Amino acid sequence: MIIFSRNRTETTLDTELAETIATHFHVHVLSIPFFYDLRSFGATIQRLRTLNEPCLFLAPFPERATKSLLVHLEIKKITVALDISNTNSDQILKFIEEADDLFLISETSGGYVERLDELTVKRWYPVIDQSECIGCLECINFCLFGVYVIGGDGKPVTDQPDACRDGCPACARVCPGAAVMFPMHDDPDISGRTDAQTIRQKVRIDLSQTKEEHRHQKQPDQSNKWNRLEPDELDDWVDQIDRFDYRQF
């Protein structure tokens, strides 16, 4: 079976592509609404949880985000995903052909598309790549909106996805593991299109540049004694002034 996620705004191309795949490979194609917008308790996700054979997943968003979301939603039978956002139908057919052995596409009843519909709204929430998470909990400390909780393994879990601020990718920027993704963001480093190791390399370069800049920063003005006082020393000075007895003059 092949799972086919339609675009958020469905087009006739979605329908045609699902039909083409089904007839070309004589395979059962399960066409579902835009995967990222589906609720974990909805009928479509429940159905995906009951799959009992290896499936190929085609979705118009980044593969790393797709795989992480499948793990989060406990959908176990889909092990390979393809991002079809910027691919044409020939490329998709070629990919499936090459993946055929993995998925043992052996249906003989002729190809058909089974369409699932579910009412969805546009959503925005973080997806965590648990394989890259180092458990530092920076994301939980940073988020003011209770999106995350700490899971049984001590790592964050996206518990209240819809509490996330629409369009904001803030915690993806503070994550040292490059594990937090917002699949609908334009920046590939945030959407999950760039692999985590490459992002971490870039961050290391940025940090080293920052340190270099810091070394060459202008030293603070030492001419004024008050500029050189530490806060505690300043407190002592104020205390001494308070204790000063002016009557002796």
Q: Does 113 bind ligand SF4 (CB under 6 A)?
A: no
Site map (CB under 6 A) of ligand SF4, residues 214-233, x = contact: --------------------
* Interface pick for ligand SF4 out of 58, 113, 171, 190 (rule CB under 6 A): 171
Options 14-22, 74-82, 88-96, 160-168: segment touching ligand SF4 (CB under 6 A) = 160-168
**Cβ-contact 172, 181 below 8 angstroms:** yes
Torsion over CA of 101, 196, 31 and 167, rounded to 10 degrees? -170
Contacts of 124 (CB under 8 A, 6+ apart): 164, 165, 166, 167, 168, 182, 184
Of 185 and 193, CB closest to ligand SF4: 185
Options 17-25, 73-81, 85-93, 168-176: segment touching ligand SF4 (CB under 6 A) = 168-176
Q: Does 147 bind ligand SF4 (CB under 6 A)?
A: yes
Helix (H, G, I), strand (E, B) or coil at 114: strand
**Cβ-contact 57, 112 below 8 angstroms:** no
* Interface pick for ligand SF4 out of 111, 177, 183, 192 (rule CB under 6 A): 177
Contacts of 227 (CB under 8 A, 6+ apart): 220, 221
Q: Does 134 bind ligand SF4 (CB under 6 A)?
A: yes
Q: Does 179 bind ligand SF4 (CB under 6 A)?
A: yes
Helices (H) and strands (E) in the chain, counts: 10, 9
- What are the phi and psi torsion angles at 25 (to 5°)? -105, 5
Contacts with ligand SF4 by CB under 6 A lie at: 126, 128, 133-139, 142-143, 145, 147, 155-156, 164-165, 168-171, 175-177, 179-180
